[in-house]
Structure 1
Amino acid sequence: MIELLSIPFIQNALLGGIILAVLLSVLSLFIYLKNWSFINVGISHATFGGLAVGFYLGISPTLFGTIFAVITGLLIGYISRKGDIHEDISIGILFSMSMAFGVIVITLSPNYNADLFTFLFGNILTIGKEDIYVLIGFTILSLGFIKLFFHKIMYCCYNEEVAYTSGINTSFYYYSLILIISVATVLSVKLVGVILASAMMILPAAFSNQIFWHYRKILIFSIISSIFMVVAGIFLSFYYDLPSGATIVLLYSVLFGILVLAKKFSGRK
């Protein structure tokens, strides 16, 4: 174990994974309260189109992925608030279109790019120092914003109409939260990939809510459980030569299933 921890890429994976686990766990609470699980799926899949363009042009895939994710997230938010189209339909159209666009770009690319498929399925063991610096910077800014306006954001999540009549600028917090979730989704694709990124924002709060009801306890346990899942998933994937992202999400999902069954057979509600 000690020898394993001395390996540089394992150190990077653990540090990056822990930072991302904290960020995604905090965002998971708001996603759970707002019932935004499908929005998160749409944003994570839309990222693929931007990544494909970035690789095709040979220009920062993360930058293009971020642009695609932010535009898609804001469009989903705008349509859900202003449009006449049902939110689920707009999400389905947008993320399907972006994924299809990404596939076409891959087809037109003269060379097969394995790095793109690393983003698609995730490999936290490839995280480098620059990725960690970006993660740290964005996490500090995001958590700082959330801490500063935490009660207003929670108010909007519980009852946006009442928050609006109370004088809170609900649109500002609504779109700010979508913006943070969109960028966090892009940063998380290297951990678990585009396909599984949404799961790491949905599972923490859903898992913790099976045990606790108060939002503070849910938030704290989400962070603790996510850090444990990421660390355990990294070690399991390394020892058994498994894809890291899938291992982390599968471990989380299995324990979530066990917890739900345990509650059912114990008679707890």
Structure 2
Amino acid sequence: MIESIFELFQFEFMRNALLVGVLVSIACGIVGTLVVVNRIVFISGGIAHAAYGGIGLGYFYGFNPIVGAIIFALMAALGMGWIARKTEQRTDTLIGVMWAVGMAIGIILVDLTPGYKADLMSYLFGSILTVSKANLLIVVGLNTVIILIVTVFYKELLAISFDRIFALTRDLPADTLYLILVAMIALTVVMVMQIVGLIMVIALLTIPAAIAEQFLQDLKQIMIVAIVLGGFFTTLGLGLSYYFNLTSGATIILISGITYLLSLVIKQYNKIKLT
């Protein structure tokens, strides 16, 4: 079976799927770690569903829906982040509003678009095996932007993640850095959406980082381990989904979830053993 799984990657569409999976794992490992340590997991879900409005926009005006998703995701993320920082509104309320309005706009625009929308469900549930070369190039570009931002602002992001009071005493622009962080979440969400769909974005974005955080404390180490885990989950999920004729996105998430549960058991066992 293992040999059969590796033989699958002789096909071009499987190689493309593996490549986009690895690229997305890099973004998820980096941004997902920041999401987990800042305890803003559900913001990614809100942004993902708001991005559906951009998909509808792309269908309605006849351009790449992924480009529309990027625009809407960034608008939702920055709007959500700015309002949360500048007003006393509850963040969870804002997420719910953005979530609902984005989905509603997307659905209405799709309804108003003439013709048959054959690949619409792929944005909800993912379709890694049908990622186009154009979308692959978009993923490469988004990944590059995220890596550059984190490289340039790593110390500042580290400061606001673990000690916001310290960051403020050092006159760091905490609000601006927060907006940069949510913008990176938006870009990552659009990438993840192509693999597992809007429905399961949160899982792939956060599970690898959540596993790594249980056993590590250094932010860089958590990011590296999360990247490796994400790549492993994606590769194994692709192989198993093809071999057993299963939905690839759901298979990837199921493997990730089982591994997370096992990590919880191991963590608890180590605690009991130490006591």
Counterpart pick for 2:8 among 4, 8, 14:
4
Gaps of 5+ in 1: none
Moved more, 235-244 or 137-146: 137-146
Identity %: 29
Gaps of 5+ in 2: none
Distance 1:67 1:159 in 2: 31
Distance 2:79 2:153 in 1: 23
2:139 is the counterpart of 1:135: yes
Residue 14 of structure 1 aligns with which residue?
18
Distance 1:45 1:210 in 2: 28
Residue 103 of structure 1 aligns with which residue?
107
2:167 is the counterpart of 1:163: yes
Residue 150 of structure 2 aligns with which residue?
146
| Residues 222-241 of structure 1, C-alpha deviations (whole Å, 9 max, x = no match) | 11111100100111111111
Distance 1:81 1:16 in 2: 34
Equivalent pairs counted in the alignment come to 269
State the 1:11 CA deviation.
0.5
Residue 191 of structure 1 aligns with which residue?
195
State the 1:265 CA deviation.
4.2
State the 1:189 CA deviation.
0.9
Distance 2:67 2:142 in 1: 14
Moved more, 201-210 or 128-137: 128-137
Moved more, 153-162 or 4-13: 153-162
| Residues 9-37 of structure 1, C-alpha deviations (whole Å, 9 max, x = no match) | 00100011101101111101110111111
Residue 30 of structure 2 aligns with which residue?
26
* 2:66/2:135 contact within 8 Å kept: no
| Residues 16-74 of structure 1, C-alpha deviations (whole Å, 9 max, x = no match) | 11011011111011101111111111001111121022113322211211111111101
Alignment of 1:1-269 (within 5 A): 1=4, 3-266=7-270, 267=272
* 2:59/2:109 contact within 8 Å kept: no
Cα pair distance change 1:268/1:218, threshold 3 Å: farther
State the 1:259 CA deviation.
1.8
State the 1:111 CA deviation.
3.4
* 1:52/1:116 contact within 8 Å kept: no
Distance 2:256 2:181 in 1: 24
Q: So what's the TM-score if we normalise by structure 2?
A: 0.92
Q: Tell me which amino acid in the other structure corresponds to 2:35.
A: I
Moved more, 159-168 or 5-14: 159-168
- Give me the CA root mean square deviation: 1.7
